[in-house]
Structure 1
Amino acid sequence: MTFTKPTLPADIDPATWPQLPRWQRLQIMTRHWTDNGFGTPHGVYVLYVVKIAAYLGGAAAVISLTPGLGGLGELTSWWTQPIVYQKLVVFTLLFEVLGLGCGSGPLTLRFVPPLGGFLYWLRPGTIRLPPWPDRVPLTRGDTRTVADVVLYAVVLGSLVWTLLAPGVGGPVTARGDVGLLDPMLVVPTLAALALLGLRDKTVFLAARAEHYALTLIVFFFPITDQIAAFKLILLALWWGAATSKLNHHFPYVMAVMMSNNPVLIPAKWAKRRMWRDATHDLRPSALPRLLAHVGGTLSEFVVPFYLVFFAPSHGPLLWAAVLYMVAFHLTIASTIPMGVPLEWNAFFIVSLFYLYGGYGDYRVSDMDSPLLLAILAASLVAVPVVGNLLPDKVSFLPAMRYYAGNWAASAWCLRPGVEDRIEANVTKCSALANRQLATLYGPQIAEVMLDKMMAWRSMHTHGRALNGLVARAVDDESGYVVRDGEYMAGPLIGWNFGEGHLHNEQLIEALQRRCDFAEGDVRVVLLEGQPIHRSWQAYRIVDAKTGVIERGYVEVADMIARQPWPEPGDVFPVRLHGTEPTVGAAR
């Protein structure tokens, strides 16, 4: 590994690499992962560290402009004022909805340029994906209009206006402060974001509206209710994530993340301990299972519960719990995970110090508003419950199934020439990733690097299922290149963050209208997440020209029994829709 070049297997020939069978390429790359992780260039890590610093420094600088608050040099005297957290939420929402946070940079297959977001959503004629086009009037179609651009501009403009606004109402705490934001300032943001979300779910999800837009609503209530609500929102996010990790998938996520950790686990021998056998059996060893369910799941249930309901308002026990959760989020950030939700983890760390260091004496039991409690219950309880029971209906983000490995995903099988047709006929925020990488490293290395990305997908449980289902989608894999759905979504819709519903039939149909593929040109395997009460995951195989050609289910037990490369001649067990379980049923 160098500052600008990735670490790739040394004993391969890039010129002949694409001629190897796909299973063999995956085998080489997944084994290479156990020692080297993604093999990310050092410069990429520096880029993300600088981006986190820019987020935190930018937030502090903008907040310091608040009249009466004080400059950056006086930060220690004003950081606990009520308006500070309000403006941090507004700044973070702006950062995310611009496309600068989650889903940006090389670890989301964004190289040239390293982001999409506003570069794409301010352009009429690009692809948009409405969530309910057949149910919500005036939302049909998949082309961004001037009205969509205006709505997006309103979101950006209103957030900037709110950031620069003074506090109103005078001191609201006994310690003295500059007041709170006028809650009416966030009305344009909420209204425009809601209308925009009905026309394009991508922007709504990119804004992390399940967290930050909900927090804006809290601004309409008194300060005591606000602090209580802020604490409950964080608690729900922790518990939602912890609940979603009660599965067989999360140890695979932990093993993959820790094998990629450049800070806590730099040594190859330590990375190899994440696997049963770093060469022959790439399933998680006991160590990542322990880290997953004790260091991860149990911690997210117990420590936040103590913080919110039992921790004293000050003292060593409070700070022990705060620092434990700070270390928890620093550990996640240190892995530099795919999708890079780094600013989100930084927000949690700042929130811990603010809400418990500055407002430890404000308890959730102090909340007086039944209306606020009802809003929180609907958003933080009802939506996640539905999302866990019906993962095909609710995005993993509002369902709060973070980091769990139980995501909707897809594998796209493309005949030669399909990518050229997409480049020629679709308005994108960038070229497809193979062309971006070819600009940096040449076309041969580009294909090798993209197979490393496919190896990352394959090492998760859902990736093992996708690998097995590709053989059901196409008769001859050698006539296709297989790309991950994230590879497709990023340039085509401006953002990608592990949400498989952004590269399902909607995107396929939008591409078909623009490119007019022949039957068999594009075959896509779509895998849904596992319902929390079921042992299986639903899948569909879709042809861009003819539509769905197969529906069925795969058992999680069969996914976790397999290696991340499809064994030659092996047939993945499926149960076709409407039939009893069977193995290798014909399409």
Structure 2
Amino acid sequence: MGFTQPDLPAVDPQEFLRKPLMERIRILSANWVEHGFGSPWMVHTIYIAKLIFFYALGGITVATLTSDLPAFWHVSAWWNQPIVYQKAILWTVLLEAIGIAGSWGPLAGKVKPMTGGIRFWARPGTIRLRPWTWMPFTAGDRRTWFDVGIYAALLASLVVALAMPGVPSESLAKALPDNTSGLVNPALLIAPMVLLVLIGLRDKTIFLGSRGEQYLPAMFFFAVLPFVDMILALKLLIVVVWVGAGVSKFGKHFANVIPPMVSNSPAIPFRWAKRAHYRQYPNDLRPSRLAEFMAHVMGTTVEIAAPLVLLLSTDKTLTIGAVLLMLAFHVFIISTFPLAVPLEWNVLFSYATVFLFAGFPAWEGYAVTDMSSPWLTALIVAGLLFFPVLGNFRPDKISFLPSMRQYAGNWASATWAFAPGAEAKLNRVTRPASNTVDQFVAFGYEPEWAEVTMNQPIAWRALHSQGRGLFSVLLKSLPDIDIRTVREAEFACNSLIGFNFGDGHLHDEKMIAAVQREAQFEPGELVVAWVESQAWGSSVQRYKLIDAALGIIETGTWKVADAVEAQPWLPDGPIPTEVTWSLAGDRRDQGHGALA
């Protein structure tokens, strides 16, 4: 792999593309073990440069210049200033809302152009996904000028809040008498909060893309709480995010996340280290004992225990140790360049760890017991836990993001299968981007190598538990699967709505129906295997088989235990599935004959 050249699989592209689907997945899943996605070093360099110079230094510069603080290189003068933390949050929300932070660039399926977000969300006629069909005044699935206006107003309100200097705060002055920068004017936070909720009720994509589930509570705390309570509420918020994510990793899925994540890391150049995360490369690509240890000791245990130490400890040495541990945790995630590339989020949480727990430690009056009222503490905790608890018991109702299942491997996901030539019909959909395979060609790939590259994400999906179930459903349902064009749904989703962060709810049957209005697929031309996350207390995942022209044509389940025990390429055949309903059977029962 060179600086500008990708690390392509060692295959003859013409011969490779003639192979059966599962043989292609076998070859590319083994290739992923040692090479990951194979992106050229230039891509990682772009991400690092964007992260350091645009996000980090840009954000610090904006915060310090607008808050009458010394320049960014005077770290000791600004790192523990509350207004800098507030503006770091606002800066992150702005970049996420524009679409130039998480889920940006080639690793998120955005190749040319590299930015989704604003290119879609500021354009009337593009697909809009409302979160609830029962919500008044949200009907339709296309963005209007009204939606564009709300979105533009949201961006403008964030810019204003960032640009304006701080105002004095009586509670801040009482806690920090020497502070002269003040806090962001609470009145300036009303508009971003209201507009984010308003646009979210009409378009969940923008709300989730802005990471509203995490940053909206922070802005609310900025606006309504006195200073000490604000700091303590922010501590509770970040601990709920960490612990919620840690708890979601209990179960059978998460160990399957670590090996492909490590394999994609440019920071681990040794092939033997990557192979060590699999049981027996290349014949058994299930997680090894090392991967299990990394998942459930270095991952789950650390992500639960260290945050609880930070929240409850009053011992300086223990607290600083936990701070350093969480910094290492986030640096590790950044180093792997996960496909949703939430790099800015990890940098922000690294800074938040230092700011909240080292800058305002428990032994200086910022213990969780120092909240002005225990009832306020209970109310905040209950509010923060509502969506994570509901979302894990009813994953069909709540996105995996407010459910706090980041990196858990227990995701709603999908795989799309096009009849030969049918993928081109997506070009009828109003959008400012082309199909991802065509973006790779425009980027400079030969067409056949672009197609090989587009097979790599489906091999990545097969290395995860839900991928084996999705391919099992397709193998059982489509006798012609080997001649079809098979695509990872997240990449297709990114080219159609400008964002995906691993959330299968963004490309469920409602999104397929929105695509169908313009694409006009014939029956059988686009068939989607879609699966919901595993609910707490359940041993199965529930799938849907969707025909773009016909809607849902089958529902069923598979056992998670069967999925995690299978090899990515299903050498023993599809895992067992149980059909709970089918359109063909329903039509026969109603006397309409078999489904054509």
Q: Alignment length, in residue pairs? A: 574
Equivalent-residue separation in structure 1 for 2:240 and 2:549 (angstroms) = 42
Q: CA deviation at 1:578?
A: 6.8
* Structure 2 residue 369 is matched with structure 1 residue 365: yes
* Structure 2 residue 68 is matched with structure 1 residue 68: yes
After superposition, where does 1:322-333 map in structure 2 within 5 Å?
A: 322-333=323-334
Q: CA deviation at 1:371?
A: 7.6
Q: CA deviation at 1:418?
A: 2.0
TM-score, with length taken from structure 2: 0.93
Q: Which amino acid counterpart does residue 291 of structure 2 have in structure 1?
A: P
Describe the shift of the 1:137–1:25 C-alpha distance in structure 2 as closer, same or farther (beyond 3 A): same
For 2:536, what is the secondary structure of its paired residue?
Answer: coil
* Structure 2 residue 414 is matched with structure 1 residue 410: yes
After superposition, where does 1:8-27 map in structure 2 within 5 Å?
A: 8-10=8-10, 12-27=11-26
Q: Which amino acid counterpart does residue 480 of structure 1 have in structure 2?
A: R
After superposition, where does 1:560-579 map in structure 2 within 5 Å?
A: 560-567=564-571, 570-577=573-580
Q: CA deviation at 1:74?
A: 3.7
Q: CA deviation at 1:417?
A: 2.6
Gaps of 5+ in 2: 583-593
* Structure 2 residue 139 is matched with structure 1 residue 140: yes
Q: CA deviation at 1:15?
A: 2.3
* Structure 2 residue 210 is matched with structure 1 residue 207: yes
Mapped contact 2:313–2:319 kept (Cα < 8 A): no
Q: Which amino acid counterpart does residue 184 of structure 1 have in structure 2?
A: A
Mapped contact 1:81–1:177 kept (Cα < 8 A): no
Describe the shift of the 1:180–1:371 C-alpha distance in structure 2 as closer, same or farther (beyond 3 A): farther
CA deviations over 1:352-372 (Å, ceiling 9, x no partner): 111122111211222225785
Q: Which amino acid counterpart does residue 56 of structure 1 have in structure 2?
A: A
1:308 to 306, 311, 318: 311
CA deviations over 1:542-574 (Å, ceiling 9, x no partner): 111111111110001110121101337x24311
Describe the shift of the 1:78–1:383 C-alpha distance in structure 2 as closer, same or farther (beyond 3 A): same
1:535 to 539, 542, 545: 539
Q: Which amino acid counterpart does residue 403 of structure 2 have in structure 1?
A: A
Q: Which amino acid counterpart does residue 489 of structure 2 have in structure 1?
A: G
For 1:143, what is the secondary structure of its paired residue?
Answer: coil
Give the stretch that moved more between structures: 117-126 or 315-324.
315-324
Describe the shift of the 1:67–1:249 C-alpha distance in structure 2 as closer, same or farther (beyond 3 A): closer
Q: Percent identity?
A: 42
Equivalent-residue separation in structure 2 for 1:432 and 1:321 (angstroms) = 44
After superposition, where does 1:48-59 map in structure 2 within 5 Å?
A: 48-53=47-52, 54-59=54-59
Describe the shift of the 1:269–1:450 C-alpha distance in structure 2 as closer, same or farther (beyond 3 A): same
Equivalent-residue separation in structure 1 for 2:477 and 2:155 (angstroms) = 42
Gaps of 5+ in 1: 580-585
For 2:59, what is the secondary structure of its paired residue?
Answer: helix
Q: CA deviation at 1:534?
A: 0.9
Q: CA deviation at 1:320?
A: 1.5
Equivalent-residue separation in structure 1 for 2:383 and 2:338 (angstroms) = 27
* Structure 2 residue 338 is matched with structure 1 residue 337: yes
2:221 to 218, 221, 225: 218
Mapped contact 1:473–1:523 kept (Cα < 8 A): no
Equivalent-residue separation in structure 2 for 1:477 and 1:528 (angstroms) = 22
Q: CA RMSD in A?
A: 1.7
Mapped contact 1:473–1:525 kept (Cα < 8 A): no
2:469 to 465, 488, 496: 465
Equivalent-residue separation in structure 1 for 2:417 and 2:376 (angstroms) = 47
After superposition, where does 1:37-52 map in structure 2 within 5 Å?
A: 37-52=36-51
Correspondence for 1:114: 114
Equivalent-residue separation in structure 1 for 2:25 and 2:392 (angstroms) = 31
After superposition, where does 1:33-432 map in structure 2 within 5 Å?
A: 33-53=32-52, 54-133=54-133, 135-170=134-169, 172=173, 173-219=176-222, 220-263=224-267, 265-312=268-315, 315-360=316-361, 361=364, 362-368=366-372, 373=377, 376-423=380-427, 425-432=428-435
Mapped contact 2:256–2:409 kept (Cα < 8 A): yes
Mapped contact 1:238–1:301 kept (Cα < 8 A): yes
Equivalent-residue separation in structure 2 for 1:431 and 1:125 (angstroms) = 16
Equivalent-residue separation in structure 2 for 1:43 and 1:129 (angstroms) = 34
Q: Which amino acid counterpart does residue 26 of structure 2 have in structure 1?
A: Q
Give the stretch that moved more between structures: 515-524 or 197-206.
515-524
Equivalent-residue separation in structure 1 for 2:71 and 2:521 (angstroms) = 58
For 2:415, what is the secondary structure of its paired residue?
Answer: strand
Describe the shift of the 1:571–1:82 C-alpha distance in structure 2 as closer, same or farther (beyond 3 A): closer
CA deviations over 1:462-512 (Å, ceiling 9, x no partner): 111111111233221134211111121101111111100101111110111
For 1:210, what is the secondary structure of its paired residue?
Answer: helix
Q: CA deviation at 1:174?
A: 2.8
Mapped contact 1:82–1:223 kept (Cα < 8 A): no
Mapped contact 1:82–1:180 kept (Cα < 8 A): yes
